[in-house]
Structure 1
Amino acid sequence: MRNQSFSRKLSALAISASILCASPALADMVKMKAMLDGAQQNPPVTTKGEGTAALVFDTATKKLSWAIKYSGLSGPATAGHIHGPAAKGENAGVVIPFKGAPKS
């Protein structure tokens, strides 16, 4: 009876340890995409500039990564940033300013 109780405790400890070690593997990778064009502006504008943004947020490390592609600008890109959330038809403030001029 004593050995069986010890075995159960040891099994429970092993399961708990494996769950703790596996926690980083359970992290979610939240993927987001955005279209970059004049229709996304508020108010909308007519422009030949367009692009796409692909973002990935790692919930375990709290790291946000992004890849942005753009074309059709009337001149070189001089700045870039990511706005925060807002209701439809509303403007949101900048939450992530990019350092330096964007590179193509």
Structure 2
Amino acid sequence: MRMQSFSPMLSALAVSASLLCASPALADMMKMKATLDGAQQNPPVTTEGKGEATLGFNTDTKQLTWNVMYSGLSGPATAGHIHGPAAKGENADVVVPFKGAPKSPFNGAA
């Protein structure tokens, strides 16, 4: 299971961040959740793999933080990353690669 389901979430994040960053008075921590499952893939796939990611974006410092947990993979994780924004049905480039193949649960910041 590739962790590709962040694209819609990051699209919303990019738009919201650009609007909020225009005024320092609006600096805040944006909180988001992403469901990780085969239905979120493009194209969708059937898999036992599933998980959840909680993300935070500080509009003042521009720091993105994440906590991810997953289970049900058919083998060990080989990689993980967050994709940038894309239109629905489109794939986006990786914008945040995770170091190595993180074991669940894991967290980080960029």
User: TM range, normalised to the smaller chain?
Assistant: 0.7 to 0.9
Q: Percent identity?
A: 80
Q: Deviations over 1:2-21 (max 9, x none)?
A: xxxxxxxxxxxxxxxxxxxx
Distance across 1 between alignment mates of 2:39 and 2:48: 11
Rg bigger for which structure?
1
Amino acid of the structure 2 residue aligned with 1:82: I
Aligned length: 81
SS at match of 2:39: helix
Aligned to 1:57: 57
Matches within 5 A, 1:15-94: 27-94=27-94
Q: Please, which runs of 5 or more residues in structure 1 have no aligned partner?
A: 1-23
State the Cα RMSD in Å: 1.6
- When normalised by structure 2's length, the TM-score is 0.69
Structure 1 runs of 4+ off > 4 angstroms?
none
Q: Please, which runs of 5 or more residues in structure 2 have no aligned partner?
A: 1-23, 105-110
Amino acid of the structure 1 residue aligned with 2:59: T
Residue 27 of structure 1: how far off its partner (Å): 2.6
Q: Deviations over 1:60-100 (max 9, x none)?
A: 11111000010000111111000011111111111111111
